[in-house]
Amino acid sequence: MAIRNTSLPIDTPRGIRLNGVLVEPHDGPLLGQACIAHCFACSKDFPATVRLARALAEEGIATLRFDFAGLGDSEGRFRDSTLDTYCEDLNAALDALKQATGEPTDLLIGHSFGGAMAIHVGSQREELTGIVTIAAPSRPGHVAHLFGDIADTIQREGFARVNIGGRPVEIGRAFLDSIEAPTLDSALERMSQPLLLLHAPGDTVVSVDHARKIFQQAHHPKSFVALHQTDHLLSRPEHTRYVAGLIHAWAANLLD
């Protein structure tokens, strides 16, 4: 299926413009639309995010991939990020997609830390048809383990440069403080949309125990699929296509 990529600017309430790309089927039936919240300190152009958006579009699901503030082509400084700015960015992306297409978003998909954000934000967006998480932690603060001993420097100096997945980013004290206490408990308690959890049993970055905890807390309807032989970042193209196929199959009835 031919795919069309369209730039989609996203304006946040705090005046920072984010950069998004709407990936759509050029022809064929349109089943619905989705938004992807990428993994921590990644971008809309992270290989797994690009492949997933394209694979979903090939399945007939128009998909928005975008950069959170301070990442990729978006404005702002990443070291100024907090849990609140992450939520504001994701809400702004959903609003921009609705404004651009005239239709509310059907699926909110989050990868890793983006999965925690999908639950946190998605539980407050009743127009969503379903929520999907890929290798998501059961609490936002889990991402702090990526900082290691540098967390002490961040607290002492106000910010520090951290190497995450080969990419240097600056993490601010405000971000560490914002993720220290919050959990997904209240979000899972109020969430009414169907939930699909995708997680690799051998994930070495976010243990599959996190998926177990989320699944236990979430209300029905909920589904869990083990992503055998995949890694945390969905590094292999065939695994991304497999994930897109699972999402399409799970959401088929929801989008009908």
Pair 20, 33: CB distance under 8 Å: no
Res. 167 pLDDT band, cuts 50 70 90 = confident
Mean pLDDT of the chain: 96
3-state secondary structure of 252: helix
Side chain identity, residue 125: R
Helix (H) or strand (E) holding 48: helix 47-58
Pair 38, 83: CB distance under 8 Å: no
Pair 59, 23: CB distance under 8 Å: no
Give the C-alpha separation, 49 to 41, whole Å: 13
Q: Can you give the pLDDT at residue 249? A: 97
Give the C-alpha separation, 50 to 241, whole Å: 11
What pTM value is reported for the model?
0.97
In the chain, DSSP assigns E strands to: 3-11, 17-25, 32-37, 61-66, 107-111, 130-134, 159-164, 167-172, 195-199, 222-226
Res. 26 pLDDT band, cuts 50 70 90 = confident
Nearest alpha carbon to residue 142 among 231, 45, 224, 39: 39
Give the C-alpha separation, 85 to 82, whole Å: 5
Structure-derived torsion over alpha carbons of residues 239, 6, 123, 248, reported in degrees to the nearest 10: -40
Give the C-alpha separation, 247 to 60, whole Å: 12
Side chain identity, residue 169: V
- Model confidence over 111-163: pLDDT tens digits? 999 999 999 999 999 999 999 999 999 999 999 999 988 999 999 999 999 98
Res. 1 pLDDT band, cuts 50 70 90 = low
